[in-house]
Chain A
């Protein structure tokens, strides 16, 4: 299991399993459980053959390891980092495994790769094309969103669509919705058009960038929609949708192995749900009902209740509540109460407030969707930082290399509980002897001298000295790995990012 996979998997699984317990429609359940699988997908992808890549970095060749996964897995054009290569091309994962810096081929995206194959042009125009398409996609999304709310026809169409969804939901559930005041003859095509553009642009960006986050968000949106409105598609539609999303999340080019794994996992889960938990369970239904009510309350409180009149009348249907409350029969008879005019309403509660509230709600939803993945982002940032520190290990500046290497040794010792606190490193060995081997303490002592020379003197160190400290670092890693228990292993790997 690779690290990113684990992080995403845990977060995603937590999110989707939470939803799962409030849903009992078989189709939606399948989607939810399958969604749990999605984050697992990147991990299916595995390491590369190192045989045909040029190895030209500062680190000695002995660090090169061959991994068990197939040699044919990765295209051979991953190569060693050379000075001048852009940093964002560095293949961090691979570099970490190999303990040396490797860069990706100039283009990693699926579609663009195809293009270059055809035209065999250089990477630069393709890259521009890619950036341009992303930009166009984003602009299209933004424009559609704005137009959707600015053009009255589109807005009414959107409301009509919502009404239809409400209708459909009411037909199969016991919910009651407050409908938007639009006539049922309202044509829906303008909203469908804009929504289609937005969806298309989202999918397009996903395809071009190979971003897995977008697919994840789409899946999440799909799931939330089904759960919130109590509307489920047929199970097979759900499965198809899920497969599409999941495929979008796979690292391109597709691996036969990962696709097989994906399909079999979906089959197993679908069958399992269909056989063991079919139909509706009263207890779950009650719980999910409760949650949905609570959610609608929250939505109501944020988005507000007032809605706009579509017919363009001068007066809204909002009755002046006070005149109704205190008015008596005669007042009613004399028609002393009156309707609130649009202008009055505009003063007491401007329309843009409602838009702001809706925007706030949307942001809240997005934040909630992203929240579970924050630990992953955090871990990833730490890891990249650690990797950047490792870059120095093989640098031409031997002093910097020795310095970084030795501090790395210290970081290992500290993370494994061998820290001597604020003692100078020179005094560490005497306390290390009883806990580690005498031989190790002796080597440590020798390396402290080298380290001090690197840190505090103007001397230029030799490759031999760097090698000496490098050996100590390998030895420390080995020792600490051997001694670590399961908990420490996790800490070393994820919290301290030493175990790469």
Chain B
């Protein structure tokens, strides 16, 4: 792992115990310029994670707690009549100026608010009354969804789910991590200890480098075969979309970069495959014994990995 990124992970690790894997994945999404959907129960440290991340990298952190009456204008800003100038002036919303936006409980927002956010995520700019305002760079949204207490909520439609690079779940800490966390919080707030180890510019540079990682045709071929296999599977209603395949490539590049390589291997694709694709696959119906993670495992098992795939070219087997 690259030492700089290792440093970031360690800094965040000071406040979140035993979640190294999730931290790495979020860093991966950050490098791949993607957004993350955290699907979790309340109180497992989603906010802490986001705050720590913004502190360690020196990002502007904003947070929205979504409720049904949060309006799109709260996010993208609005124009208000200014009496002195006799003109409308633009009041920036929460999205402007944010590098890292934590959208808590996105499923509680009304659908128009959701779509406003999602457009901003996709286009990296907001347009208010004909005026286009670019977002800060880097920009990343970590949206959370609660799977409990869903009364009166509006779950993200499948099409919008597709726009998140990763869908993660932090999960409860185990015994050691829980003990460690309690012990650390006895006297002081560990968030204070998180120092900035990576500048915004360095991060932007790393993002560029990560996207310049080599993905050879054999890797693209593997991604394509995975996507096609998911679409052709008999239990699948909607398979991995073309955007999903694109995201898979990007995530694999970012993973290769994190690992300190400048080329993607089949292992990279496999490592990110489940997180990138789990929320893009819809099963036809609830058949006993088939779930999306199982199906993805099956795909990885059955689709020939690129290491082996080209063996035929040489030995004709």
Contact = CB atoms under 8 A, between A and B. Distances in A.
Pairing of A with B: yes
Interface of A: 385-386, 389, 392, 403-404, 407-408, 410-411, 422-427, 451-453, 455-459
Nearest to A421: B301
B265 A422 contact: no
Contact of A411 (B261, B301, B302, B315): B315
Given A424-B270, A457-B214, A458-B214, A404 B264 contact: no
Interface stretch (B17-25, B142-150, B286-294, B303-311): B303-311
A385 B316 contact: yes
Given A411-B311, A427-B267, A455-B265, 6 more contacts: A385-B316, A424-B267, A452-B263, A455-B216, A455-B306, A456-B216
A458 B216 CA distance: 9
A451 B304 CA distance: 17
A456 B220 CA distance: 11
Interface of A is mostly: helix
B314 A424 contact: no
B180 interface: no
A404 B306 CA distance: 14
B266 interface: yes
A452 B307 CA distance: 8
Contacts of B303: 422
A426 B265 contact: yes
Interface string B226-248: 00000000000000000000000
Contacts of A386: 315
B266 A392 contact: no
Interface string B186-228: 0000000000000000000000000000101011000000000
Given A407-B314, A452-B265, A457-B261, A422 B308 contact: yes
The winner among B262, B270, B308 for most chain A CB atoms within 10 A is: B308
B263 A457 contact: yes
A355 B146 CA distance: 87
B214 A456 contact: yes
A415 B315 CA distance: 13
Given A455-B216, A456-B218, A426 B315 contact: no
B263 A458 contact: yes
B229 to A, nearest CB: 12
Given A456-B265, A457-B263, A407 B315 contact: yes
A460 to B, nearest CB: 13
A453 B263 contact: yes
Contacts of A389: 314-316
Contact of B301 (A407, A422, A459): A422
Contacts of A457: 214, 216, 261-263
Interface string B271-307: 0000000000000000000000000000011111111
19 contacts: A389-B314, A404-B314, A407-B311, A407-B315, A410-B311, A411-B315, A411-B317, A422-B301, A422-B303, A422-B304, A422-B305, A424-B305, A425-B307, A451-B307, A455-B265, A456-B263, A456-B264, A457-B263, A458-B263
Interface in B160-194: none
B56 to A, nearest CB: 30
B214 A424 contact: no
A197 B218 CA distance: 59
Nearest to B216: A456
Contacts of B267: 424, 426-427
A262 to B, nearest CB: 37
A455 B307 contact: yes
The winner among B216, B302, B308, B314 for most chain A CB atoms within 10 A is: B314
A452 B306 CA distance: 10
Contacts of B315: 385-386, 389, 407-408, 411
Contacts of B314: 389, 392, 403-404, 407
Contacts of A404: 314
B263 A424 contact: no
Nearest to A451: B307
A68 B59 CA distance: 74
Contacts of B262: 457
Contacts of B219: 456
A452 B315 CA distance: 18
Contacts of B214: 456-458
Q: Which 4 A-B pairs rank lowest in CB-CB distance, beginning with the nearest?
A: A457-B263, A456-B263, A452-B265, A424-B267
Contacts of B311: 407, 410-411
A423 B308 CA distance: 9
Nearest to B311: A407
Interface string B146-161: 0000000000000000
